């Protein structure tokens, strides 16, 4: 669990199916069985901030760890940093080795920021090396059809998507409102009621 480096610990038991529109109960149970990890599937959780993408990805990751799988969680920006510095820093080298031996890799905020062609190439090499060896969960505010704008290289984008989408399921939170705003806490509740 420590090696997974989850940003928080929220289980699938805490995930509220009734507060989102992306998954039905049957699909949720199928995901929870984790057969897709063995088959090296890619889950793409797509939608605006605050709809439950991270909770689902971490919950599935925790479930996988509890069943004996090795899991790595990393933010896209951090992944690019690790890939760029793995030859120079011990911390990046250790993180990279853990990811390369993982059964499930969760990459959060994919294509949140534009990356240059050298970084896109490193990302492609990473995906290429793990293709058929690991399952992925990718969370993103953008659909795969928009990723080319952030990678800046049409050929690389096609090559990356070809591998990621070969065995994949896109879970789209299109009509779900931000759960953070729904359960928003404030310091001055009496003032907020007046506005």
CATH number for position 147:
3.40.50.300
1 lies in some domain: no
148 lies in some domain: yes
127-180 pLDDT tens trace: 889 988 999 999 988 776 776 666 666 777 777 777 777 788 888 877 544 444
Q: What are the φ and ψ backbone dihedral angles of 122, each rounded to 5 degrees?
A: -60, -40
Average pLDDT, the chain: 83
pLDDT higher than threshold 70 for residue 118: yes
Give the residue numbers spanning the domain of 114.
Answer: 33-194
Greater pLDDT, 95 or 47: 95
Angstrom distance (rounded) from CA 73 to CA 39: 19
15 lies in some domain: no
169 lies in some domain: yes
6 lies in some domain: no
**Rounded alpha-carbon distances, angstroms, from residue 174 to 21, 30, 51, 143:** 7, 21, 9, 11
C-alpha closest to that of 126 among 150, 92, 149, 154: 92
109 lies in some domain: yes
8 lies in some domain: no
Angstrom distance (rounded) from CA 89 to CA 81: 11
Angstrom distance (rounded) from CA 22 to CA 172: 6
11 lies in some domain: no
User: Under a CB-based contact definition with an 8 Å cutoff, are residues 172 and 22 in contact?
Assistant: yes
32-59 pLDDT tens trace: 999 999 999 999 898 888 788 889 999 9
Six-digit token string for 146: 């928009």
Residue 82 confidence class, pLDDT cut points 50, 70, 90: very high
How many residues are present in the chain? 195
pTM: 0.83
* Domains identified in the chain, total number: 1
Angstrom distance (rounded) from CA 65 to CA 184: 30
Q: Which residues of 63-78 are buried (b: 16+ CB within 10 A; e: fewer)?
A: bbbeeebbbbbbbbeb
User: Percent of the chain, pLDDT > 90?
Assistant: 39
């Amino acid at each position: 669990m420590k090696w997974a480096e989850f940003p928080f610990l929220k289980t699938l038991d805490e995930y509220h199916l009734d507060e989102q529109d992306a998954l039905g109960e049957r699909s949720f149970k199928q995901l929870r069985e984790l057969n897709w990890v063995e088959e090296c599937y890619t889950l793409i959780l797509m939608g605006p901030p605050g709809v439950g993408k991270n909770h689902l990805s971490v919950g599935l990751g925790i479930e996988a760890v509890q069943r004996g799988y090795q899991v790595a969680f990393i933010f896209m920006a951090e992944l690019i940093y690790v890939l760029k510095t793995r030859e120079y820093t011990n911390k990046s080298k250790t993180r990279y080795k853990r990811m390369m031996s993982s059964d499930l890799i969760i990459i959060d905020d994919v294509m949140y920021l534009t990356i240059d062609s050298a970084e896109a190439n490193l990302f492609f090499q990473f995906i290429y090396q793990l293709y058929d060896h690991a399952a992925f969960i990718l969370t993103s505010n953008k659909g795969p059809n928009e990723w080319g704008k952030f990678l800046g290289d049409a050929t690389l984008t096609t090559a990356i998507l070809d591998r990621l989408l070969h065995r994949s399921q896109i879970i789209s939170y299109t009509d779900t409102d931000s759960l953070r705003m729904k359960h928003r806490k404030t310091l001055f509740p009496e003032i907020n009621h007046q506005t």
